[in-house]
Structure 1
Amino acid sequence: MPWLGLAIQYDAGSENWQLTGVHQHSSNRRTIDDHLQQQGLALPLEVVGIQLVDKQQLFTQVLFIEEPDTLPSYAEFNQLMQDQQALFLASQKNVLALITSDRQIIPLQTTSRPMTSLPALFWFQLFVGVGGALTGALVWASRRRDPAAILYALTGVGYLIFAPAAAIYSTRELIISGELFRILSAINHFGALFFTASLTSLLWAYPIKLGAAKVPAVIYSLALLVWLLNVMQWLAPVFMHLAVLLIFSISFVFSGMQWQKTRKHPSARAALRWFLLSIYTATGLFAGFIIIPAALHIEQPASQGIMFGAFLIMYWGLALGIVKYRLFQLEQWWHSITGWFVSGLFIVLFDIALVSGLALPQELALPIALAIAGWLYFPVRQLLWSRIGKQANPSINAWIGNILPLLIDRESSESGKSSNDRWVEILRAVWRTPYVEQRTGQLSAPAITNDGLRLLVPAYPDHLPYHFHVDLPDSGARLFTSADIKTVKHLQQITGLALERIDARNQGIQVERDRIRRDMHDDLGATLLKLLHASPEETKPLVRNAITDMRQLVSTLEQYPVNKAEAIAHWHKEAEDRCKFAGATLQWSDEGEQLPELLSVRTYTNLSRILREAVSNALKYASPSIIHICFNQNQITLSNPIPADKPVGHGSGQRIMSERAAEINAHLEYRTEQSKYSITLTIPPEQG
C-alpha cells in the first residue's frame, strides 16, 4: 500500500487542513524540513491538497473517511473510489506533490508502508477478528455436531471477514487502490451480513431448537440477497444498514420464543439469559454508536474500529454459555444489568433522535434527553419492572406464610413427627418442589451443585449425620443462586426459634395431661373399682367396660404414638371377643394392610371407636352370623349380611363415626347391595 509518511489532519478551529507531522522513516522527511527552513515555517503547516499530473485533489472529509458506507449516495461512494484510484496510479509513478495554503508545491515520494507505521487501531481490529474466530473454533471443536456450536463458529467466520477488511481501509494513511477499496468494502458488507445472519440463526437453534433448519437457510438467503443488491448498487446505501437491523430484529422474535420454551428448563433458561445479556449488550452498543447514526446520516460517536471490540465481549460471554453453564450467579443481577443497559441505550437513541429529528445542537440535545429520561422514562420503567421483572429468588414474604403452619402444626406434634420431618416439609414448601431427598453424611453449611440444579441443605439440627438434596426449585423454572444460600440460613434461624417455642408448648401440654391423667386414675379409677366390688354380678360387666374406657381415655392423654402392630392386635382381640359373646363368627384379614408404622394417639383412638361402633351396629341391627373385617392397603372394610326384613338405617351412630373419621382426615363410605351391608374407612397415606 502506498505510503507518504505524513500526518494530515483537519483543524476544526481554523477550518483548515494541516500537516502535523512527518514519520521519522518517511522518504519525504528531508524535503519537508528543507521547505519549512526555506520559508521560515514550522509544523503544523496548512495544506489544501495533492497535485497530480493533470489535476489537483483537494483534501475533504470524504477523502479521509473511515467507513465509506456511511456516505449518503452511491454517487459519492463511486467518486471516492475514483479519487482514490487516481491517487494510487499517480503514486505508482511518483508524480505527487503537496499543495500548501499559499499554493506552493512540495514534491512527494511514495514507498511501501512499513509494518511499524501501522496504527494500534489496525492491530486491534485484527486482534478482535481473529480472537472471535478462534473462540468460535474452540467451541466448535468441542461440539462438532452441535448445530448451535456450528452457527456460533460461523459468526466467528463473519467476524473474521468484516473486521480485518475494515482494518485495512479504515486505517489507511491517505492513499489506497480504489479497486481494492471497493473490494474490501464489499467483503466487509458480506462479513457483516453473514455475521448477523449467523447470530440470528443461533438464537433459533440455541438453547432449544425452535424448529426446522430451513429457517436459518431463509435468513442466510435474505442476507445474500441484500449483499448482492448492495454490490450491484440497485438500492440506496442506507438500505444496507437497514437490512442489517432488519435481519437482527428477527432475533428478538426468536428470543421471545426461546423465553417461552425454556420456562421449565432451568439450565436452558440460564443459558438464554447469558446469551441475551452477551448478544444484546455487544450488538446494542455497536448499533447505537455505529449502525443507527450511519442510517440517520449523523456523526458517529465513536470509531467503528474501536466498537468492533464490543463483539469480542459477546464471543467470550457466549463461549462460557455454550461450553459450560456456570451461570446461576447471573440470576440475581440479571434484571439490574438489563435495566441499566436498556436505560443507557434509551438515552443514547433519544439523544440521536433529538439531534437528527429536531436538528438540535448536541450540547442541548443531551440535557433534554436526560431530563425526559429522568421525568418520564425511568418512572414508567420502574412501574413496569415492578410488575413484570420481579426476581425469581424466593423472598421471605413469599415463603413465610407457607412454613408457619408447618412450624405450629399441632397435629404434627401429636403424631410424634420429628423436627427432621418438619424440616423436610419446610424445604419443600419454600422451594416449591417435591424433590427433597435425605442423604448420608454430615453437612455444616448449605451449598449449590450441579450448575445450580441442586441445593445441599444441612439437617436440622446440623450436627446430625445426614443432609438433604433439594432439586429443581419452583418445579424446575429456575436455578439456585447465592440468594438461596441466604434463605437456608434464614430458615435455620426461624425454624430454631419456632421449634424452641413448640417444644416449650408441648412440654407444658404434656405436664397438664400428666396431671389430668393422674387425677383420673387416682380419683375416678378408685371410685370405679369401689363400684365394681359393690355391684351385683349382673352389672359388673358394665362397670368393667367403664373401667376399660377410662383406661383408654387416660391413654389418649399420653403423647406417645401407638405401634401399628399393637393397634391391629388390640382391634382384633376386641372384635373377636365381642363377636364370640354375641354368637357370631369373625373373619379377620390384615395381610394387605399398608397403614403407617406409628399411629398418633388421636388417630388410634378414633379408629378404635369407629371399629367398635361399626361392630356394635352390625351386632345390634343385623344379628349376623358372620362379620368380615378386612385391611387392604390404607382401607378398613367391615361387611356382614343383613336380613331382608331389617333394613339398615342412618342414625346417630353413623353420624358420630363420620365425625370421628373427619377428625383424622379419613373418609367413611356406607354401602348396601345384594343383602350385604359394608362400611369402608379410607385413611390418607400420610395420616399417622
Structure 2
Amino acid sequence: MHELRTPALRLLAACVGILLLALAVLALRESLPDYSLSVQTDGSRLSVLAPDGAIEVRALGPPTGQAGAPVLLTPDLLVEDPDMLSSYAGFRALLAAQGEMTALTTQATAAGQPLRLHLENGDEIDLPVTAETPLRHLPAMFWVQWAVGIIVLAIAAFLLVLRSGHNGRQQSEGLGGFVLAGAGVATAAFTASVYGTRELSIDPDLLWRLSIVNHIGTFAFGVGMIGLFARYPRPVLASRWVRAVAALAAVNEIAYRLQLPPYDLIKPQVLIGVMFLTILGLILAQLRATRGHPADRAALRWLGLSVLLGSGVFVLMVSLPALIGAETILSQGLAFIPLCAIYVGAALALARYRLFDLDRWALRVLFSLAVVALMIVVDTVFLLTLSLSGPASLASAVALVGLVYFPMRDLVFDRWLGRRRPDLAALYRDTLSVAFQHGGQAKANAWRGVMERLFAPLRVEALPAPVTGALLEDEGLALVIPGPEGTPALRLGYAAAGRRLFNAEDRALADELATLAEAAGRDRVTYETAVARERQRIARDLHDDVGSRLLSSLHARDDGQRQDFLIEALSDLRQIATGLAGREVTLPLLIGQLRAESRSRAEALDRRLIWPPGSADEAEIPLRYDMQRNLTAIQREALSNALTHGAGDIHVTATCDGQSLHLCLVNALSSADRRAEGPHRGNGTGNMRNRAEALKGRLEAGPTENGHYRMELYLPLNADIS
C-alpha cells in the first residue's frame, strides 16, 4: 500500500481523474442539439446568415403539420451567461423559453423533420436540427474554455500532489487556497463551455444546475485567492476570516437562487467585485508584511501580477459591464484565457522558479497593466456619463492616457521602478584600483569595498574555497563572487539592503568585474616584471660598463688610454640617464653619437675613420634602451678590434630599410695578424655575437681573402625580445 502513495502514482491518478472529467464535459456538450443555421444577435435583434446577408428572425415554430405554438425569439435567449440578465424575471423568462424551445427541438428530432424559422418579413424557412452536436461542429470557444479547465486543474493537481511534506503552516494554507481557486476556475470554465456555447436551446433544468455549479466554481476561485493571499507569502489574515468569506458566498448563492433580496444587491457580479477588492486589499497588506523579505516580496510581485492580469481582466471586461447593465467588453469565453495565465504565473511563483529573473520586469508589466485598466476605466466613464460615441470616447481616453501616461511612465521607471545604473567610470576606476593595492589583505579589502558600494548587501562573507565564476544562490537571496588573484571569494546576501533579489544581470556584472580585476592584476605583474628587468639591466650596465671603464682609467699606463676610458664612461652614463628619463633616442641620433665617438678614438691613435652618411641617418625610428646599449657595445668592440689588430683606414657604413639595420665595419689587417693563425682569439667577437642574438639579430665577422677583417651586423629594429 505504501507504494501506491508515491507522488508519481498520485500524480498519475490525478491526471486520469482530470481526463475523465474532461471527457464527461465533452460528452455533455455533444448532447446539446445542433442546428444547421447560425442564429446571431447584435444585442437588439436576432438574425441568421444567408447568401444575401443577415435575415432578421422573429420566432421558432414546430415542424410543418405538427401542433405547437411558436416561441418568440429575443436577444436574451442567446445571452452567454444567465447572470448577465438584468432581473430575476429575465432569468425566469430565459428558462421558460429554453423549455419551450427544448420541447420543439425534441418534437422535431423525434419526427425527423426540420423546425420552422419565422422571419420578420413574414416568410418561413426550414431549420434542420439534430439531437446531438458532432465533435467537428463544436465551436472554437468551447475548446478554449475546455482547454483552460484542463490546464488549470493539471497545474493545481501537480502542486498539490508533489508538494513537500515539510511546508510551514502558512505555506500549506496558502497552497490550499491556490488549489481551491484552481478547482473553482476549472469548474467555471467547464460549465461555461457547455451552456455558454449552446447554439440556440438547452434543457432548462441542465442550464439551472450548470449555473449553480458555475457560481460555486466562481466563488471558490475568489475564496481560494483570498485564502492564498491571506497566508502567503506572509500570514496577514486569520483563517477564520477566510471561512467567513466562504460562508458569505454560500449565503449569497442560496439567497440568489431563492430570489429573496433585490436582484441588483445579490447578483453574482456584486460578490465578485467585493472579492476582487478584498484580494487587492490583501495584496497591499502583503506588500507591507514582506518588507525586509526580498524573496517573499518577489513571489508576491509575481503573484500579484498574475492575479491582476487574470482576474482583473475578467472583472473589468466581463463582470463590471454586466453589473452596470452594459454590454460586456470581452467574451466570457475569452476572459478565461487570462484566468489561465494566473495559474501559469502563480505556479511559477509558488514553485519559486527563477524568481530573480521574473522579479526584474514584474513591476513594469504591472504598471503597463494599470495603464490598460486606466484606458478602460476612462472609456467607460465617458461612455456612461457623457453619452459620447465609441470612437469619441476612445479618442478622449487615448488623449488622456497619452498626456498623463508617458510623462508618468518616465518618472516612475527612471526614478522609482528603474534600478539606478552604476557610474561605469567610477566602477572601472575602483575595480582597477584593486589590482594596484600592496599586499593580499589590502587587495581583499579594496575588492570587498567595490562589491559593497555596487550591491549594498546586508551581509558579506569571505569564503574559504575559491570559485570559478559568479553564482546565484537561495533563489537570488545571495550572490557568490570570485575574488581576484590573492583575494578570497565573497558571498553577498540581500541586495540593496534587502529591498530586492540578486538577478542574472548582477551575476554577469560581477563576473565582468572579477575578470577585469584579474586582468588588471596580471597587467600590473607584467609591468612590475618589466620594470624590475629594466632596473636590473641598468644596474648591470652601470656595473659592467661604466664601472669597468672607470677602473680601467685608474690603471691606464698613459693619458691617451685614460682619456678614452673616461670618454666612454661618460658616454655610457649619458645613455643610461637618457634611458632612465624616458627620453626618446632615434636611430639617426645614436648613429651620429657613435660616429663622433669612433672618429675621436681613431684619430687619437693616428688612424682615419671613414663613415659616410647613409640611409640609417635618415630613418627616424625610435630605439629601445636595450637596443641602444647593445648596438653601442657592438660598435665599440668592433672598433677596438680594428684599432688593435688592424692597420690603415677603417671603413664603416650604416644602412636601414625601415625594418632592419645593417652595420658594416672593414679594416685592413696588420702584417703580423695576417701571418698569425686565427687573429682575434679573444672573447670580443663572441660577446658581440651574443649581443646581436639577444636582439634577434645576426653578426658575421672574420678575415677576408684580400687581407681585410670584416664585421657585419644585421639587426631587426621592431623585434619583440620580451
Using structure 1 for the length normalisation, give the TM-score.
0.63
1:125 pairs with one of 145, 151, 158:
145
How many angstroms does 1:379 deviate by? 2.9
SS at the partner of 2:292? coil
Equivalent residue number for residue 485 of structure 1: 507
Equivalent residue number for residue 84 of structure 1: 98
**Take 1:184 and 1:439, find their aligned partners in 2: how far apart are those partners?**
65
2:257 paired with 1:235:
no
**Take 1:416 and 1:107, find their aligned partners in 2: how far apart are those partners?**
95
1:448 alignment partner AA: L
**Take 1:46 and 1:255, find their aligned partners in 2: how far apart are those partners?**
49
Equivalent residue number for residue 9 of structure 1: 39
How many angstroms does 1:327 deviate by? 0.9
2:134 pairs with one of 106, 110, 115:
115
1:471 alignment partner AA: G
**Structure 1 segment 222-621 matched on structure 2, within 5 A:** 222-233=248-259, 234-237=261-264, 239-380=267-408, 382-383=410-411, 388-391=416-419, 395-397=421-423, 417-433=441-457, 434-443=459-468, 445-461=469-485, 467-488=489-510, 491-492=513-514
Equivalent residue number for residue 135 of structure 1: 155
**Structure 1 segment 58-69 matched on structure 2, within 5 A:** 58-69=72-83
Indicate how the Cα distance of structure 1 residues 97 and 504 shifts in structure 2: closer, same or farther if over 3 A, else same.
closer
**Take 1:416 and 1:114, find their aligned partners in 2: how far apart are those partners?**
81
**Take 2:327 and 2:123, find their aligned partners in 1: how far apart are those partners?**
33
How many angstroms does 1:477 deviate by? 3.2
What 5-or-longer segments of structure 1 have no aligned partner?
A: 22-40, 508-688
SS at the partner of 1:440? coil
Equivalent residue number for residue 592 of structure 1: none
How many angstroms does 1:329 deviate by? 0.8
2:88 paired with 1:70:
no
Indicate how the Cα distance of structure 1 residues 439 and 19 shifts in structure 2: closer, same or farther if over 3 A, else same.
same
Equivalent residue number for residue 103 of structure 1: 122
Equivalent residue number for residue 659 of structure 1: none
Whether the 8 Å CA contact 1:402–1:429 is kept in 2: the answer is: no
Equivalent residue number for residue 621 of structure 1: none
When Rg is computed on C-alpha atoms for both structures, the one with the higher figure is: 2
Of the structure 1 ranges 250-259 and 396-405, higher mean CA displacement relative to structure 2 is found in 396-405
Whether the 8 Å CA contact 1:271–1:325 is kept in 2: the answer is: no
SS at the partner of 1:279? helix
Equivalent residue number for residue 155 of structure 1: 181
Indicate how the Cα distance of structure 1 residues 4 and 452 shifts in structure 2: closer, same or farther if over 3 A, else same.
closer
How many angstroms does 1:196 deviate by? 1.0
**Take 1:87 and 1:253, find their aligned partners in 2: how far apart are those partners?**
46
Indicate how the Cα distance of structure 1 residues 370 and 42 shifts in structure 2: closer, same or farther if over 3 A, else same.
closer
Equivalent residue number for residue 49 of structure 2: 20
**Take 1:275 and 1:251, find their aligned partners in 2: how far apart are those partners?**
11
User: Residues 323-369 of structure 1, C-alpha deviation per residue, up to 9 Å, x if partnerless?
Assistant: 23421012322222122111111112211221122221111111110
How many angstroms does 1:279 deviate by? 1.3
2:268 alignment partner AA: M
1:194 pairs with one of 201, 214, 220:
220
**Take 1:405 and 1:268, find their aligned partners in 2: how far apart are those partners?**
33
Indicate how the Cα distance of structure 1 residues 135 and 489 shifts in structure 2: closer, same or farther if over 3 A, else same.
closer
User: Residues 651-676 of structure 1, C-alpha deviation per residue, up to 9 Å, x if partnerless?
Assistant: xxxxxxxxxxxxxxxxxxxxxxxxxx
Percent identity between the two aligned chains: 24
Whether the 8 Å CA contact 1:442–1:465 is kept in 2: the answer is: no
Indicate how the Cα distance of structure 1 residues 256 and 447 shifts in structure 2: closer, same or farther if over 3 A, else same.
same
**Take 1:294 and 1:366, find their aligned partners in 2: how far apart are those partners?**
20
How many angstroms does 1:478 deviate by? 2.1
2:59 alignment partner AA: G
How many angstroms does 1:402 deviate by? 14
How many angstroms does 1:320 deviate by? 1.5
2:207 paired with 1:173:
no
Indicate how the Cα distance of structure 1 residues 431 and 57 shifts in structure 2: closer, same or farther if over 3 A, else same.
same
Equivalent residue number for residue 712 of structure 2: none
Indicate how the Cα distance of structure 1 residues 2 and 18 shifts in structure 2: closer, same or farther if over 3 A, else same.
same
Indicate how the Cα distance of structure 1 residues 305 and 408 shifts in structure 2: closer, same or farther if over 3 A, else same.
closer
User: Residues 442-480 of structure 1, C-alpha deviation per residue, up to 9 Å, x if partnerless?
Assistant: 52x43323321222212124xx59633222223433211
SS at the partner of 1:263? coil
Equivalent residue number for residue 48 of structure 1: 58
**Take 2:478 and 2:198, find their aligned partners in 1: how far apart are those partners?**
55
1:175 alignment partner AA: S
1:123 alignment partner AA: W
1:98 alignment partner AA: L
How many angstroms does 1:174 deviate by? 0.5
Indicate how the Cα distance of structure 1 residues 59 and 135 shifts in structure 2: closer, same or farther if over 3 A, else same.
same
**Take 1:335 and 1:2, find their aligned partners in 2: how far apart are those partners?**
45
Whether the 8 Å CA contact 1:427–1:436 is kept in 2: the answer is: no
**Take 2:450 and 2:241, find their aligned partners in 1: how far apart are those partners?**
47
Whether the 8 Å CA contact 2:467–2:481 is kept in 1: the answer is: no
**Take 1:207 and 1:362, find their aligned partners in 2: how far apart are those partners?**
42
SS at the partner of 1:292? helix
User: Residues 207-254 of structure 1, C-alpha deviation per residue, up to 9 Å, x if partnerless?
Assistant: 122243212112212222222222222232474212211112111221
**Take 2:223 and 2:83, find their aligned partners in 1: how far apart are those partners?**
19
Of the structure 1 ranges 77-86 and 484-493, higher mean CA displacement relative to structure 2 is found in 484-493
How many angstroms does 1:154 deviate by? 0.6
**Take 1:200 and 1:465, find their aligned partners in 2: how far apart are those partners?**
50
How many angstroms does 1:428 deviate by? 3.1
Whether the 8 Å CA contact 1:406–1:425 is kept in 2: the answer is: no
Indicate how the Cα distance of structure 1 residues 401 and 469 shifts in structure 2: closer, same or farther if over 3 A, else same.
closer
**Take 1:236 and 1:383, find their aligned partners in 2: how far apart are those partners?**
45
SS at the partner of 2:246? helix
Indicate how the Cα distance of structure 1 residues 329 and 405 shifts in structure 2: closer, same or farther if over 3 A, else same.
closer
Equivalent residue number for residue 207 of structure 1: 233
**Take 1:409 and 1:180, find their aligned partners in 2: how far apart are those partners?**
79
How many angstroms does 1:322 deviate by? 1.1
- CA RMSD in angstroms comes to 3.6
Whether the 8 Å CA contact 2:71–2:100 is kept in 1: the answer is: no
Using structure 2 for the length normalisation, give the TM-score.
0.60
Of the structure 1 ranges 493-502 and 374-383, higher mean CA displacement relative to structure 2 is found in 493-502
How many angstroms does 1:3 deviate by? 2.1
Equivalent residue number for residue 71 of structure 2: 57
How many angstroms does 1:416 deviate by? 7.8
SS at the partner of 2:247? helix
1:488 alignment partner AA: A
**Take 2:499 and 2:425, find their aligned partners in 1: how far apart are those partners?**
17
SS at the partner of 1:396? coil
How many angstroms does 1:387 deviate by? 5.2
Equivalent residue number for residue 557 of structure 2: none
Whether the 8 Å CA contact 1:207–1:271 is kept in 2: the answer is: yes
2:33 alignment partner AA: W
SS at the partner of 2:489? strand
Whether the 8 Å CA contact 1:193–1:227 is kept in 2: the answer is: no
Of the structure 1 ranges 187-196 and 177-186, higher mean CA displacement relative to structure 2 is found in 177-186
Equivalent residue number for residue 11 of structure 2: none
